[in-house]
Amino acid sequence: MKILLVDDEPEILEVIAEFLELKGHVVETASNGKSGLDMVLGHNDFDLVFSDIGMPEMDGLTLLEKIRSNAIDTPVILISGQGDVSNTIRALQLGALDFIVKPVYLKSVEEALDKIETAMAAERENKSAVDLISEQRVVMSFASDLNKIRNVISYFNRYTQDLCGVFDLDANKLAICLQECLTNAIIHGNFKVESRLKEEDWSAFDNLIKERQADPVLGNKKVFITLHQTPQALVLKSRMRVMASTPPSCPTPPTRRAG
């Protein structure tokens, strides 16, 4: 992918750029939102934009707003401070696809990048649309294998691609939401790995997930996805093997507009 990094701290730009280049991506950088906007408007060929929120001349939120006001739908990931709730809400309203919370760890960058790549891959891999019907309910289940989530989303995308247009949903956002939901259901639900461990010791958190993924009993626990479409609404739910839950990070599906 061709990625634009926007940050007023040269050290952060250098570290993230080097990391992304090692991953095989083409990277360009800007030191503030105004320069970043000029690059986006001048080229309009970036696959992804990473931007800090707090910058001189033009902040990350204004950059995102300007990108969207120019009808450019390039995915944008914002870097924000901890506890910055107001900016987080504003960024979601403007169409940010994901966040990285400071201090920035390369693992966080990798996770955010993987979400975007999963969503983009799902969109590319499903070129054919399905015929719309008045009502359908699709239920799927799969084993708790974190490595197969992208395949599941790509397969599931065939049922949602056209429906996103009907209900004014962003297909990339839906794919990212589904990935978050399935990942949490596996890690925190079926594997019983607590989120606080991630904050205390990332390495221990990662190792415990790998250990439980390798356990044949835990690895075979099921995760279920249900899609229910009617003329009025599109409802997406997931649940673990025992307890049912609605994805907490997903917005309430909008009702279909008349006409």
What was the pLDDT predicted at 105? 80
Identify any residues that bridge with 99 across adjacent strands, giving them in sequence order: 78
Indicate the range of 59-63, 106-110, 117-121, 159-163 predicted with least confidence: 159-163
pLDDT, residue 2, reads 92
Domain boundaries, the chain: 2-104, 128-245
What single letter denotes the amino acid at residue 94?
Answer: L
CA-to-CA distance for 51 and 136, rounded, in angstroms? 40
All residues at 6 or more sequence positions from 138 whose CB lies less than 8 Å from its CB, including other chains: 159, 225, 226, 227, 228
111-135 pLDDT, tens digit each: 888 888 877 776 655 444 444 466 7
| 128-245 shares the fold of 2-104 | no
d(CA 68, CA 105): 27
User: At residue 3, what are phi and psi to the nearest 5 degrees?
Assistant: -120, 135
Give the CATH H-level superfamily of domain 2-104: Response regulator (3.40.50.2300)
Tell me the residue length of the chain: 259
Distance from C-alpha of 177 to C-alpha of 69, rounded to nearest angstrom:
24
- Angle at 98 (CA atoms; ends 97, 99), nearest 5 degrees: 145
pLDDT for position 250: 39
Closest CA to 1 of 33, 38, 47, 45: 47
User: Are residues 54 and 91 in contact, defined by beta-carbon separation less than 8 angstroms?
Assistant: no
Q: Which residues pair with 139 in a beta bridge?
A: 226
236 bridge partner residues = 227
Q: Where residue 172 falls among pLDDT bands split at 50, 70, 90?
A: confident
Cβ 190 vs Cβ 221: under 8 Å = yes
pLDDT digits (tens, 9 = 90+) for 204-228: 999 999 999 999 899 889 988 888 8
- 128-245: in CATH 3.30.420: no
